Amino acid sequence: MKSNSKVFLVGFMGCGKSTLGKKLARKLNKEFIDLDDFIEEQEKLTINEIFEQVGEAGFRALENKWLKFVSQKYDNAVISCGGGTPCFNGNMNFMLEKGKVVYIQLPPKVLCDRLTNERQKRPLIAKLSDNELLEFIKTKLSERSPYYLQSSILFDPLGETEVELMERL
């Protein structure tokens, strides 16, 4: 892939965007940016605090603003997005214009197992019981799939290696 280019990683909460993003950035010699971490640093608030103070709509506005900022600032980067990023404010079209978008695709049950002990930092699922969590994932994933599936590359981490993904970038 071109040395000066951007890769956006998208997918549901818990699919491994940040973990994969760090590895890809290292191997491709690019900067790594985690959009949620970037927003927290810039706003000096946690994602939970932002949701508490301005609600989801307020968070989506900030997410759009900082996505644009990061895309402008970094030419050569792997950017891992939040789970909802591609589904709001025209962000998916924006990312497709600026670089390659990789969807990390996993089934609801696998996401649920991964998220069971990772609920606290995620306001959308923090208060859900185990049963509610799986139902929530199924519903949200079907709402969000039409966006995720517009990605340039679909990556199945259970069936494909990172080296194979890199060859497709």
Interface with ligand S3P by CB under 6 A: which residues? 13, 17, 36, 47, 82-84, 122-124
Which sign, positive or negative, has the C-alpha torsion 18, 6, 140, 38? positive
Residue closest to ligand S3P (Cβ): 82
In the complex, least distance from residue 47 CB atom to ligand S3P, rounded to whole angstroms = 5
Residue 61 CA to residue 53 CA, distance in Å, equals: 13
Q: Which is nearer to ligand S3P, 75 or 124 (CB)?
A: 124
Q: Which is nearer to ligand S3P, 83 or 99 (CB)?
A: 83
In the complex, least distance from residue 68 CB atom to ligand S3P, rounded to whole angstroms = 16
In the complex, least distance from residue 100 CB atom to ligand S3P, rounded to whole angstroms = 19
Cβ-in-10-Å burial (0-12, 13-18, 19+) of 31 comes to middle
Q: Which is nearer to ligand S3P, 13 or 25 (CB)?
A: 13
CB burial readout 61-96, b (16+ within 10 A) else e: ebbbebbeebbeeeeebbbbbbbbbbbbbebbebbe
Q: Which is nearer to ligand S3P, 13 or 165 (CB)?
A: 13
In the complex, least distance from residue 4 CB atom to ligand S3P, rounded to whole angstroms = 26
In the complex, least distance from residue 103 CB atom to ligand S3P, rounded to whole angstroms = 13
3-state percent breakdown (helix, strand, coil) of the chain, nearest 5: 55, 10, 35
Q: Which is nearer to ligand S3P, 82 or 108 (CB)?
A: 82
